[in-house]
Amino acid sequence: MNAQELLQEISDYCRQAGLAESTFGRRAVNDGKLTARLRNGGRITTETLDRIRAFIHARRATAGLPQAAIIDPMNSASRTPTIAPKRPHTSGAPVTSPAGTDEDPQRNFRFFDNRQKYLLFVNTCSEKWVVANRVSLELANIHPRPPAVRVFDAGVGDGSVLTRVMRSMHDRFPHQPFYVAGKEISLEDVRLCLQKMADRFFEHAGTVLVLTNMNYADAPWLAVKSVNAASSLVWHELALTGTTSHQFEEQIMGLESFLSENWKAGVSPKTGNPVYERPVVLVIYRADHKFLLEPIIPHPGGTQANYDLVIASQPFRLRSSLEFKSKRVLAPLARALGPGGRMIAIHSHGHDPGMEIVTKVWPEENPFGHDRHALLKATKAELGPLGRDLNFNAYADNRSLFRYDMHTLPTEISASIGTSTLFAAWNAAVYVAQIEDARLEKVITETKYLEATAEVLQKHGGLWFYDESFVISRRRE
Ligand SMILES: C[S@@+](CC[C@H](N)C(=O)[O-])C[C@H]1O[C@@H](n2cnc3c(N)ncnc32)[C@H](O)[C@@H]1O
């Protein structure tokens, strides 16, 4: 067993048992810094290893927890298959967290969320395309200053939105260098995003692309506040050689082993959210443009934020608290805006046929807890005096709300709707409403959910959703 596997086993156990890793270390081997040292490359004796494993084994047996369950926090299809330690649900029984602890199952949403739902949604609905169009409209309102147009994507996902926005940026600012930074904790998403980037370097040679797994409070500045985490920072620079998209793609794909080695995450035992194992920064630019790009290539030790545009598309779980959304996500992003900079935030709104499907199955469901007015108010309060030179723009509904659709052909919505259309529609509805797997498992044993989906598709002749957007902007100097 290598250190990595041991750390994974410890973090799985801690998450299931609801223990902090430091508490685990103290209890198992009287060493609260055990996991931190392991992460930093520290070694342990085989005797200590035996004590750790014996501790986990014994505690699991006593608590009735499954032995050595493997959780993949990123739900990545390409990694070890997810073996969530499922407990059988009897109808009507309360939904418990996987370990059967008292944790709020909503806090574990990311844990239940899965890649297949995201990928199916992204490819069957026009959302990411429509979002990119909405974000690109903001390019008309920003005022970049030399040496670069600076953009931050607060959660790149599969990169569909970011690559489209970069195309619009090239259209509007063909000769200005770009500094484009993105945050993403999921290895699989980082791979998907990078796969789309080769042609961006070809068309817009003056591009510095930075990807990091840091959290919202640190990522815009590429500097982690925790000294412990900072000491394990991995910084990797790739200067692309050659001049064709094909050559760039080959080199970007060559990052595969670096990524799987370093872009690792676990699950926080406290919140159930994914947390990185070590902070990573990946910097990519064209070697033949290094001279021009030198002033904007970041280096370890942090960089300025000063963004002209911040993209916050679906940056949080809908059911997270207002405090979490404003304090941990929106406020740090607003602070990262430069003079004249604009952050556009987008989240799901409901009041659409997608939600009709959901309420046919769960009549009381309302996942869209906080609208833009509540979010802006809470973010303004959180920022206090730091928000003095910011404008908080809620806009009227006709500017803020926009619609996107599931791609269907008119002939597909007929008396008998094909199963793949029905499944895609159901997937989109429950994905947008962020229904946890534990609840889905219960309803898909019967056919009611498909009947509900078919009724809504037939009633509206298709399926669509509404997103809500708002803008926080910093006044120009
Ligand atoms: C994958 S990301 C978003 C990444 C990227 N900014 C994007 O828009 O694709 C973070 C969270 O957003 C959620 N998410 C993405 N699109 C959504 C949508 N249209 N409605 C609700 N949740 C969504 C996912 O479940 C995930 O937990």
CA of residue 430 to ligand 1 center, whole Å:
12
The confidence band for 109, taking pLDDT boundaries of 50, 70 and 90, is very low
CA atoms within 13 A on the CB side of 103: 22
Mind listing the domains of the chain with CATH numbers? 1-70 (1.10.260.40), 112-349+369-397 (3.40.50.150)
Task: Decide whether any atom of ligand 1 lies within 6 Å of the 432 Cβ.
Answer: yes
CA of residue 424 to ligand 1 center, whole Å:
16
Residue 125 Cα: closest atom of ligand 1? 19
Mean pLDDT of the chain: 87
Nearest residue (CA) to ligand 1, atom 15: 314
The confidence band for 66, taking pLDDT boundaries of 50, 70 and 90, is low
Res 75: pLDDT: 35
Residue 109 Cα: closest atom of ligand 1? 27
Nearest residue (CA) to ligand 1, atom 16: 314
User: Taking residues 142-147, what's their average pLDDT?
Assistant: 96
Interval 365-388: pLDDT, tens: 999 989 999 999 999 999 999 999
The confidence band for 97, taking pLDDT boundaries of 50, 70 and 90, is very low
Does 80 have pLDDT greater than 80? no
d(CA 74, CA 267): 9
Comparing 55 with 220, the larger pLDDT belongs to 220
- Torsions phi, psi for 369 (to 5 deg): -60, -45
Nearest residue (CA) to ligand 1, atom 1: 157
pTM: 0.79
Residue 340, C-beta contacts closer than 8 angstroms, at least 6 positions apart: 142, 143, 308, 473, 474, 475, 476, 477
Res 113: pLDDT: 54
Nearest residue (CA) to ligand 1, atom 5: 157
Res 67: pLDDT: 57
Interval 18-38: pLDDT, tens: 788 888 888 899 888 888 888
Which residue type is seen at 358?
Answer: V
d(CA 343, CA 337): 7
Antiparallel, parallel or unpaired: β 178-183 and 207-212: parallel
- CA distance readout (Å), 412 to 151, 381, 406, 416, 463: 40, 49, 12, 8, 12
